[in-house]
Amino acid sequence: MKSKIAVVAFGGNALLKGNEQGTIDQQEKNTYETCENVLQLINNGYHIIITHGNGPQVGNILLRNEAGFNQYKIPKMPLDICVADSQGGIGYMIERQMRNVLNDYNMEKNVITMVTQVLVDINDPAFENPTKPIGAFYLKEEADLLSRNNKWVFKEDSRKRGWRRVVASPKPIDIFNKTVIKELAERGNIVIAVGGGGVPVYRHKNNYLEAIEAVVDKDLASAILASSINADAFFILTDVPNAYINFNKPDQNPLGKISVAEAILYLEQGQFASGSMGPKIKAALEYVENGGQETIITQADQLKFQNCGTRIVQT
């Protein structure tokens, strides 16, 4: 069977379920089970590139940042270092559990984790309107003080749980080391990259690279990677088996194979929530509209079924 490349984006639930505290035992169990399901793609002839989110983990790192400074005056690390820390920690966890799965199924493959930077445009309009919440909830007075001391932007949580720091979420332009990622995958290695959407950096006119206080959507960064290396398929693993129209309503309907035009229509109708399925559909479209063959949005345990999930194709 001819080998193909699949980019597989692990959703947050691949590492941490919504009702869990996030202990290492819980995260490792979830990661093992997700990696075990991904073996089905390898058995189907795919070489695998794994990407992943980092939302809860980088939030915890930021909390440790604050606690360490307040109690012991340990210098705070900027957001880019916190994102890189989360990439390394989560990548290590996925790599080790994937090695355990391979061992349990008597398979031999190298598994490689790459801390990945992504290029963004410093003039991206997203920097004028930070929207991505990170870190802890604060009282208004605490948020005002932190804003003055650190030049951070805060917005009140929509559920009135407090005030939370928000940062920009610019569109990724390019993925660093994408050629190396592709070459490693083509040789049969399992590559873990673009964790948390990657660390966003921008170029000065002299090509000097500088980090920026922002986060990149991991599904969109994964789609950019998949299209730029001409991956044969792009899988977005989430906590539901399909995308739905009329989700959570009496007439909800799971979507199977749909065209780009249909996906755009449903998106314009507001069928996909901006905080959950919406970004996944946009990432799926980014890949297919830029030459990709097919994006599959599904739950990890559905990979064993042929034609699983919602499959977005050009026509």
- Give catalytic residues, as residue numbers: 12-13, 132, 218, 280
- Angle, helices 218-228 vs 178-186, to 10°: value is 70
Nearest to 192 by CA among 89, 41, 55, 101: 89
> Distance between CA atoms of 298 and 307, rounded to whole angstroms?
10
> Distance between CA atoms of 132 and 152, rounded to whole angstroms?
12
Residue located via tokens 């598994």: 111
Assigned token pair, 70: 């307040």
Contact 79, 130 (CB under 8 A): no
> Distance between CA atoms of 11 and 241, rounded to whole angstroms?
13
